[in-house]
Chain A
């Protein structure tokens, strides 16, 4: 069987199985060049439960199937970069394994299987930039973009208000006759949504729990203050330096008087107690150098 016949046979089989779900582009010579298929997770025909999808493009070089085809994943919906990267890796392995054999159907099945396993958007809501947690109510638009209902409701409300305000400014003959049409924040496709249902949705969990993020900010401040303290301690000789340890015993008596006047950088009361520790040590270093010294030698 010639190469072209083998390809033809594979494509005929694909068309028979996938029917309208596949499109094949032929070049001027009548050879198949490009195979395209939009792949959804298998959800037993429950289309509204398909939360993710991706378009697979397979370019067939002349020597295919004796060499690997060129594959591309286009328009991933609900999949983040790491998921797509993972898919690419699996595709590469599969292509390697199937050199010399028809691989397109295998690739489609591989991707479908992956999508079925992770049929929950791994991307973030484009409006609040937070992810989707279990229990969050979210909307998948017809254009396969994902939003927390809470965020989408706000978008639609603001847009509708703007639309009505604009209409009010126009002379009657210029006003729109079709009324307000909600659009997707990402691609501006018209979307249909149940406004009242959206508006009753609770804010997304991750957005509410975003306090975690604040802690890191606080930690940053803490870090800065610690740095200040460290520098202060260092300048006052409060940091243990193995080599300088011997001399320090002598130095301390001199700085004793300074302590009462200079309590060191003040700490605001809102800071967590962790911060007390180094300061405490620092004071100890100066006041009770003997104790500090023994503490150090115990380590």
Chain B
């Protein structure tokens, strides 16, 4: 075991514990993987009942830098099922303001998960973002390097 943990690891350790003990509905974390490497988590998410995504399940990948929680986590959808949603690109990148400009250290993995569930749930029509093809071809691998323009609060 490492003897000294950085403050970001300590905080992640706490978040992991509370996410294991008391996860939001439909959200579960791969605890063993996260324990191996606190800086990268995989989270399973189920589409909320009564929404367009009911019955679907998704995987989210969280990557944390050693500046967490002052620096936002890098969050993308991964795996075989990427939700079709106006704010989710087919490469898994998510256009969500709290993941970049509006991030605050008072937010958490749990808060981000809730935001994403809610973003999916308020969707009225499954549609890819209008610029999906172009963005996917030209974007950086890291969604945080994209200069997002947040304009649509309805979904």
Within 8 Å CB of B10, what residues of A?
128, 130, 207, 210, 213
Q: Looking at the complex, which one of A128, A145, A218 makes contact with B11 (CB distance below 8 Å)?
A: A128
Q: How large is the interface on A (under 10, 10 to 19, 20 to 34, 35 or more residues)?
A: 20 to 34
Within 8 Å CB of A210, what residues of B?
5, 10, 13
* A126, A127, A129, A203: most-surrounded residue (chain B CB, <10 A): A129
Q: Looking at the complex, which one of B14, B35, B70 makes contact with A129 (CB distance below 8 Å)?
A: B14
A151–B1 contact, CB under 8 A? no
Task: Give a binary string over B8-37; 1 marks a CB under 8 Å from any A CB, 0 the rest.
Answer: 001101110000000000000000000100
Tell yes or no: B105 within 8 A of A by CB.
Answer: yes
A218 and B70 CA atoms in complex are apart in Å by 28
B1–A127 contact, CB under 8 A? no
Q: Looking at the complex, which one of A127, A130, A154, A214 makes contact with B106 (CB distance below 8 Å)?
A: A127
A207 touching B7 in the complex, CB below 8 Å, given contacts A155-B70, A158-B70: yes
Task: Give a binary string over A119-130; 1 marks a CB under 8 Å from any B CB, 0 the rest.
Answer: 000000011111
A214–B7 contact, CB under 8 A? no
Tell yes or no: A237 within 8 A of B by CB.
Answer: no
Within 8 Å CB of B69, what residues of A?
127
Interface SS majority for chain B: loop
Chain A residue at minimum C-beta to C-beta distance from B70: A158
**Beta-carbon contacts under 8 Å, B49-83 to A:** 67, 69-71
B1–A126 contact, CB under 8 A? no
Tell yes or no: B122 within 8 A of A by CB.
Answer: no
A188 and B101 CA atoms in complex are apart in Å by 12
Tell yes or no: A228 within 8 A of B by CB.
Answer: no
Tell yes or no: A186 within 8 A of B by CB.
Answer: yes
A218 and B104 CA atoms in complex are apart in Å by 31
Within 8 Å CB of B14, what residues of A?
129-130, 213
A128 and B6 CA atoms in complex are apart in Å by 11
Cβ distance B111 to chain A, nearest Cβ, rounded Å: 11
Cβ distance B129 to chain A, nearest Cβ, rounded Å: 24
Interface SS majority for chain A: loop
A185–B104 contact, CB under 8 A? yes
Tell yes or no: A221 within 8 A of B by CB.
Answer: yes
Cβ distance A227 to chain B, nearest Cβ, rounded Å: 15
Tell yes or no: A43 within 8 A of B by CB.
Answer: no
**Beta-carbon contacts under 8 Å, B128-146 to A:** none
Within 8 Å CB of B35, what residues of A?
217
Cβ distance B37 to chain A, nearest Cβ, rounded Å: 14
Q: Looking at the complex, which one of B1, B67, B70 makes contact with A270 (CB distance below 8 Å)?
A: B1
A127 and B70 CA atoms in complex are apart in Å by 8
Chain B residue at minimum C-beta to C-beta distance from A150: B7
Q: Looking at the complex, which one of B1, B13, B15, B67 makes contact with A218 (CB distance below 8 Å)?
A: B1
A221 touching B1 in the complex, CB below 8 Å, given contacts A151-B105, A154-B70, A185-B106: yes
Task: Give a binary string over A184-208; 1 marks a CB under 8 Å from any B CB, 0 the rest.
Answer: 0110100000000000000100010
Chain B residue at minimum C-beta to C-beta distance from A187: B106
Within 8 Å CB of A155, what residues of B?
70, 105
Within 8 Å CB of A145, what residues of B?
106
A221 and B7 CA atoms in complex are apart in Å by 22
A158–B71 contact, CB under 8 A? yes
Within 8 Å CB of A218, what residues of B?
1
A203–B7 contact, CB under 8 A? yes
A217 and B13 CA atoms in complex are apart in Å by 10
> Which residues on A are within 8 Å of B, measured CB to CB?
126-130, 145, 151, 154-155, 158, 185-186, 188, 203, 207, 210, 213-214, 217-218, 221, 270
Seed contacts A158-B70, A186-B104; 9 additional CB < 8 Å A-B pairs: A127-B69, A128-B7, A128-B11, A151-B105, A155-B70, A158-B67, A210-B5, A210-B13, A270-B1
Considering the complex of A and B, which 6 residue pairs feature the smallest CB-CB distances, nearest first? A126-B106, A185-B106, A158-B70, A186-B106, A127-B105, A185-B104
